[in-house]
Amino acid sequence: MFDLLVKNANLQDGRSRIDVACSKGRIVAVEPNVIGQAREVIDATGRLVIPPFVDAHWHLDGALLHGNPYSNESGTLYEGIEIWSKLKNTASVEDYKERARRVLCWAIANGSLHIRCQTDICDPQLRAVQALIEVRDELRPYIDLQLVAFPQDGYLRDPNGIKLMKRALDMGMDAVGGIPDYELTAPLGYEAVRQLCELADKRGLLVDMHIDQTTDPQSRQIEAIAQECIRLKMGARISASHCPSMANYDDYYADKLIAQLARLPQSGLPNPDLLDQLTAREREVVALVAHGFTNEQIAGRLVVSPATAKTHVSRAMVKLRALSLLSRDHFASANDGETRWPNSNCLDGIGCLQHDQVGVIPLRNAIPIET
Ligand SMILES: [Zn+2]
């Protein structure tokens, strides 16, 4: 007897009218016409059935606050931080919980069942931390919420940062965050990276830091976090989020950095066999993406429509198992002279070091093109 049998499902690998059987919380059969009884049967009637989405970067403590107390007119990160600093000491635990619950219910309804949430710890009363831990535990049967202790005002810059981080971790946060480029000097940023990674290592926690989240090509905290991966042998337990400065690095430094990242243990190098699955045109497209070309530029270069270019890019990324819109945007923005802020509340913020879909970065060297 199965616990659940989903019949007539279409799968993302192209198979159609497939049955999916589950027992004790695990998928035990994926094939046409599964035989057997089930406690619950769902007829998918040919609809797409896929694993739940993973949303790797949220700030639920700041959700649903647009325009409160006023809008971010400049659209800059720093105005956003300033507005948030006015708000966070006025919100109650219940307010944090109510807004987080609303967003998480929408996420569940739309199939996002694994969310990593950065949570500001720079409030002496740690109200957001308390609220989100309670909501995480309350909704645990429905959604996997992973909480990162995020020192929004700087781990070293905030006079209470070190103390509050320790208290937040003692309360039960899942991972250690950081914002090294917000420390007062670059050396203090490096020091924050070192201390935070050591703290996480000692406690057996994950690390997910906001890294180089400026337009400054001199912001190079990413090399510090890469060094900590090696020094502490933490490998894929460390993520570097955002990294938009990478878009503005000169080629010499970018090549050196990319080679350094590619050598990291468990850094998710692309499987070379995956390259063989690409058609000649898709290899061409991937090489252009890796060199920073936008879809429009690729279309111009290959003399196809932008829609066709987009299709080629999407297919290649699926074959490479690449969520590489992140990498593509970073490199693309270096090329067209603009720097775009990643949207902090979407997958754009996924870690460069951790994700096994970071294949496009090493590909920049793997597939040479004429420029
Ligand atoms: Zn963020």
Question: What would the pLDDT profile of 158-199 be if each residue is shown by its tens digit?
Answer: 999 999 999 999 999 999 999 999 999 999 999 999 999 999
53: DSSP letter: E
Question: For the segment 203-247, what is each residue's pLDDT rounded down to a tens digit?
Answer: 999 999 999 988 899 999 999 999 998 899 887 789 999 898 988
Q: Mind listing the domains of the chain with CATH numbers? A: 2-43 (2.30.40.10), 53-262 (3.20.20.140), 272-343+355-366 (1.10.10.10)
Number of Cβ atoms within 10 Å of the Cβ of 258: 19
User: In angstroms, what CA-CA distances link 67 with 78, 80, 102, 120, 134?
Assistant: 16, 11, 18, 19, 26
Question: For the segment 75-97, what is each residue's pLDDT rounded down to a tens digit?
Answer: 887 888 888 888 887 889 999 99
Bond into 272 cis (ω within 30): no
Instruction: Determine the Cα–Cα distance for residues 71 and 84; give it in Å rounded to an integer.
Output: 11
Centroid of ligand 1 to alpha carbon of 1 (angstroms) = 44
Centroid of ligand 1 to alpha carbon of 210 (angstroms) = 6
Q: Sign of the CA dihedral 123, 138, 97, 207?
A: positive
Centroid of ligand 1 to alpha carbon of 274 (angstroms) = 31
Centroid of ligand 1 to alpha carbon of 168 (angstroms) = 18
Instruction: Determine the Cα–Cα distance for residues 109 and 105; give it in Å rounded to an integer.
Output: 6
Centroid of ligand 1 to alpha carbon of 57 (angstroms) = 6
Centroid of ligand 1 to alpha carbon of 307 (angstroms) = 31
Q: Which H or E element spans position 195? A: helix 186-203
Centroid of ligand 1 to alpha carbon of 232 (angstroms) = 24
Q: In what side-by-side order are the strands of the sheet with 26-31?
A: 26-31, 18-23, 2-9, 38-43
Q: What is the mean pLDDT of the chain?
A: 80
Centroid of ligand 1 to alpha carbon of 245 (angstroms) = 15
Centroid of ligand 1 to alpha carbon of 59 (angstroms) = 6
Question: For the segment 2-57, what is each residue's pLDDT rounded down to a tens digit?
Answer: 999 999 999 888 899 999 998 987 888 999 999 999 999 999 999 888 888 889 99
Centroid of ligand 1 to alpha carbon of 346 (angstroms) = 9
Closest CA to 238 of 269, 285, 282, 198: 198
In the predicted model, is pLDDT for residue 125 greater than 90? yes
Beta bridge partners of 241: 210
